[in-house]
Amino acid sequence: MNKNFVIAILSITLMAALIYSFPGIQTSKDSSQLGVHSSVCIYKNNELIAPCSHNTMMNASLNATRDCLGKAAACSAAAYDYIAVGNSSTAENDDLAALPAEITDSGLARAQGTYGLIPQSIGNWSISKVFTSSGAVNLIVNTTALLNASSTGTMFAGKNFASSVTLQSGDQLNVTWYIWVS
């Protein structure tokens, strides 16, 4: 094989590898990496109770995302901006239709959260709600869900807390869901 030909091929290969690996050329919008993700942060009286953590997205929410992105006429899902909390030992799984043992009283009933854009980001948003416990003493909360209705509806994602939170009357529980498309 011609020595010049081999050197030319190696030079072209090396240049292509260098150009491709240059950070300014690569993109984070690679469709093979496309996904919808979420995590949740729980605060009691303004103190983070555990590290923010990923959760389980429900099959129904993945189908709703598919329908809204793929066929607008099939997009019947309302905004996923309702937050519920509960006290359950049911394991997280992607087939749940509702939050097990959802708390519906004591100031902790499902409520519409506040939608917010994440500054300096693309495709990221949050839904947050501050609940104030009322009446109950030693009320245990250990689960949360993000849903699209004030009652029933479709559950987008759910999370069991790493450790239970015990609330007294007047305690505040801030639940913030972060959702991002990447």
Phi/psi at 82 (nearest 5 deg)? -105, 135
Per-residue pLDDT reduced to its tens digit, 48-101: 988 888 888 888 888 887 887 787 777 777 889 999 999 999 988 888 889 999
Sign of CA dihedral 36, 96, 51, 141: positive
* Amino acid identity at 104: T
* pLDDT, position 146: 94
**Domain map of the chain by residue range?**
29-181
Q: pLDDT tens-digit profile of 93-112?
A: 888 889 999 999 999 999 99
Mean pLDDT over 106-129 rounds to: 93
162 class by beta-carbon count within 10 Å (0-12 exposed, 13-18 middle, 19+ buried): exposed
Confidence check: pLDDT of 18 > 70: no
pLDDT at site 40: 92
Instruction: Assign residue 132 a region (left: φ > 0; alpha: ψ between -120 and 50; beta: otherwise).
Output: beta
Residue in 123, 43, 138, 124 with CA at minimum distance from that of residue 83: 43
pLDDT at 85: 98
- Secondary structure class of 137 (helix, strand, coil): coil
Indicate if the pLDDT at residue 145 is higher than 80.
Answer: yes
Query: What pLDDT is attached to residue 66?
Result: 80
More confident residue, 33 or 28: 33
- CA 141/CA 130 separation, integer angstroms: 14
3-state secondary structure of 142: strand
Phi/psi at 47 (5° precision): -115, 125
pLDDT tier for residue 3 given thresholds of 50, 70 and 90? low
Average confidence (pLDDT) over 163-172: 95
Sheet holding 139-147, edge to edge: 56-57, 155-167, 139-147, 82-86, 111-112
Q: Which residue has the tokens 């416990």?
A: 133
Mean pLDDT, rounded, for 17-46: 62
Report H helices in 35-126.
59-70
Please check the confidence at residue 20 and state whether its pLDDT lies above 60: no
Question: In the prediction, which pLDDT does 12 show?
Answer: 52
Q: Are 141 and 108 in contact (CB under 8 A)?
A: yes
* Nearby residues of 66 by Cβ (< 8 Å), 6 or more positions away: none
pLDDT digit string, tens, across residues 31-43: 555 677 888 999 9
Higher pLDDT, 50 or 12: 50
